[in-house]
Amino acid sequence: MSSEPLRPAWSQSFSPEALQIVMTSGPIAHINPEWAWGGSTGAGVRVAIIDSGVEADHPALGGMVRGGVIVNYDEQEPNKVRIEPEEQPVDIFGHGTACAGIIHSLAPEAELYSIRVLGRDLKGRAVQFAGGLRWALENQIQVINLSLSTNREEYYALFHQLTDDAYFKNATLVSAVNNYPVPSYPSLYSSVISVAAHEGKDPFTFFYNPSPPVEFGAPGIDVKVAWIDKGYTTSTGNSFAAPHISGIVALIRAKHPTLTPFQIKTVLFACASNTQAG
Partner 1 sequence: MNQEGVESESAIVNQLKRLLLAIEVSGRAILPGTNDQLLQSIVDAAARIFGATAASLALVEKDGQSLVFRVATTVPGVESVVGMRVPIDRGIVGYVAMTGQPIAISNVREDARFNQDFARSTGYMPQSILAMPLISNDRVIGVMEVLDKINAPTFGLMDMELLAIFAQQAAIAIDQSQHFDQLGRAVLLGLQTLASQEPGQYGHLLGALQDSQGYSEQDQEILELADLFYDIRMLGEAERRMLLQVTSAFRDYCRSRPGQFGFGRI
Interface positions, 141-200, toward partner 1 (CB under 8 A): 147-153, 176, 178-180, 182, 197
Nearer to partner 1 among residue 32 and residue 233 (C-beta): 233
| Chosen residue from 38, 63, 231, 257 binding partner 1 by CB under 8 A | 231
Distance CA 66, CA 85 (A): 12
Query: Closest separation between CB of residue 231 and partner 1, Å?
Result: 3
d(CA 36, CA 34): 6
The answer to whether residue 13 forms part of the interface with partner 1 (CB under 8 A) is no
d(CA 121, CA 150): 16
Among 19, 33, 93, 203, binds partner 1 (CB under 8 A): 93
Pairing assessment for the beta strands 65-73 and 46-51 based on DSSP bridges = unpaired
CA atoms within 13 A of residue 81's CA, in its CB half-sphere: 25
3-state secondary structure of 203: coil
Residue nearer to partner 1 on the CB measure, 36 or 225: 225
Give the integer Cα–Cα distance in Å for 240 and 266.
22
Classify residue 235 as left (phi > 0), alpha (psi -120 to 50) or beta. beta
For the CB of residue 241, give the shortest distance to partner 1 in the complex, in Å. 11
Query: Which residues from 20-39 bind partner 1, rule CB under 8 A?
Result: none
Q: Does 237 contact partner 1 by CB under 8 A?
A: yes
CA gap 11, 18 in Å, rounded: 10
79 touches partner 1 by CB under 8 A: no
3-class secondary structure, 249: helix
- 19 lines the binding site for partner 1 (CB under 8 A): no
Segment (H or E) for 168: helix 156-168
Kindly state whether residue 213 participates in binding partner 1, applying the rule CB under 8 A.
no
Give the integer Cα–Cα distance in Å for 195 and 269.
Answer: 12
Shortest gap between Cβ of 180 and partner 1 (angstroms)?
5
User: Could you tell me the smallest distance in angstroms from the CB atom of residue 122 to partner 1?
Assistant: 4
The size of the interface with partner 1 (CB under 8 A), counted in residues, is 45
For the CB of residue 17, give the shortest distance to partner 1 in the complex, in Å: 13
Q: At its nearest, how many Å lie between partner 1 and the CB of residue 117? A: 9
Residue 222 interacting with partner 1 (CB under 8 A): yes
The CA angle 270-109-137, to the nearest 5 degrees, is 75
Nearer to partner 1, 11 or 172 (CB): 11
What's the start-to-end Cα distance of the chain, in Å? 49
Contacts with partner 1 by CB under 8 A lie at 1-3, 6, 9, 11, 52, 92-95, 118-123, 125, 147-153, 176, 178-180, 182, 197, 221-222, 227-229, 231-239
